[in-house]
A and B are shown apart, each in its own frame.
Chain A
Amino acid sequence: AQKVTQAQTEISVVEKEDVTLDCVYETRDTTYYLFWYKQPPSGELVFLIRRNSFDEQNEISGRYSWNFQKSTSSFNFTITASQVVDSAVYFCALSEAYDRDYGQNFVFGPGTRLSVLP
């Protein structure tokens, strides 16, 4: 069965520091999709990015970047020059390609709480 691990429960950084949130996944499939979500203190869950298993190219969006490495089954998220508004819980998630066995196909990690201090 698929699994997502986020070993860092909580991280605190000072504003302008760079921070990397780790995500390690397990799946039997060769085709799968990885996601990151942000949950700010206001509570809503915001979709940030999707990456498919065939695309190992790193992605950058402003201060956010994602490093996908199949060799280590990792999909890490880096925030450069962190800001107080980045304070949130971040969830990594995995979805398998095929709806085949009536198990849960979309699996979330336990989340990492990031606190950015001024």
Chain B
Amino acid sequence: DSGVTQTPKHLITATGQRVTLRCSPRSGDLSVYWYQQSLDQGLQFLIQYYNGEERAKGNILERFSAQQFPDLHSELNLSSLELGDSALYFCASSVVAAGSSPLHFGNGTRLTVT
């Protein structure tokens, strides 16, 4: 158990809808990362937060947004969903924004857009 909690585990929704994915980092970790993994693909970095502030942005679509709250949990909002957004979305956390601390991953949220 990595200590990172992601909810829900599975989500099935229709095109055009909006969903929110939630992540609780490990106790003590200040940095939260979001990754998208489409079928048989690698890990696509979406966005990183550190102690409530956006720290780095990857290939995140404008239809997607995220935030990290004062209690350090994070939410990833996906709107105007398309079939191609179907993927496994991972949250990861680490103690620091860079450096020696490994990322610890949650079990992911599998999003299916129909």
Contacts and interface: CB of A to CB of B under 8 A. Distances in A.
A91 B43 contact: yes
B11 interface: no
Contact of B58 (A45, A97, A99, A104): A104
A104 B42 contact: no
Contact of B99 (A43, A45, A98, A103): A98
A12 B112 CA distance: 30
B99 A104 contact: no
Contact of B98 (A45, A50, A105, A111): A105
Interface residues of B, number: 27
Nearest to B102: A47
A109 to B, nearest CB: 8
Interface of B: 2, 33, 42-43, 45, 48, 50, 55-56, 58, 88, 90, 92, 94, 96-105, 107-108, 110
Given A45-B105, A108-B42, 9 more contacts: A43-B108, A44-B105, A47-B105, A91-B43, A99-B96, A99-B99, A102-B56, A105-B98, A111-B42
